[in-house]
Amino acid sequence: MYKSKLFNSVIVQTLAKMGHTDQIAIGDAGLPIPENVERIDLALTSGVPSFMQVLETVTESMQIEKVLLAEEILEHNPEINKKILAQIKQIEESQQNIIDIEYVTHEMLKQQTSECKAVIRTGECSPYANIILQSGVIF
């Protein structure tokens, strides 16, 4: 049996196929997902699973060099933004590298999802709880 905290086989397979600079998105229940991008739908009901639960689990299995966030999160969901930044700090400490954080308009973030290998849909129902993770290298 596969030994990791991440059980979802589609997410594991997607991460395993990713190379340097490839991207994957984690979104709230309302984030539109382009037709050409794989949808990994984890949403069960409002808030389940939460955005942060999925982010914390996925980031344990991924080398990250950059994240994209919607600048609107700063005003409309500062609590989630604070939690994301704390998670990024933990990742930086465990990976021993700096992660570039870029804020873009929500419209630009939605457009960028079309370049992602997949979008993971959570049950999160708070505004702008979306992130794009860019893959780094482990060497």
103 assigned ligand-binding residue: no
130 assigned ligand-binding residue: yes
Residue 38: HSE in the Cβ half-sphere, 13 Å Cα cutoff: 13
Say which of 17, 20, 39, 89 is annotated catalytic. 20
Total residue count of the chain as it appears in this document: 139
106 assigned ligand-binding residue: yes
Contact call for residues 118 and 38 (beta carbons, < 8 A): yes
> Helix or strand or coil: residue 56?
helix
129 assigned ligand-binding residue: yes
20 belongs to the catalytic site: yes
In 3D, which of 51, 72, 62, 70 has the Cα closest to residue 117?
62
Active centre residues (catalytic): 20
- Known binding-site residue numbers: 28, 106, 128-130
Binding residues for substrate: 28, 106, 128-130
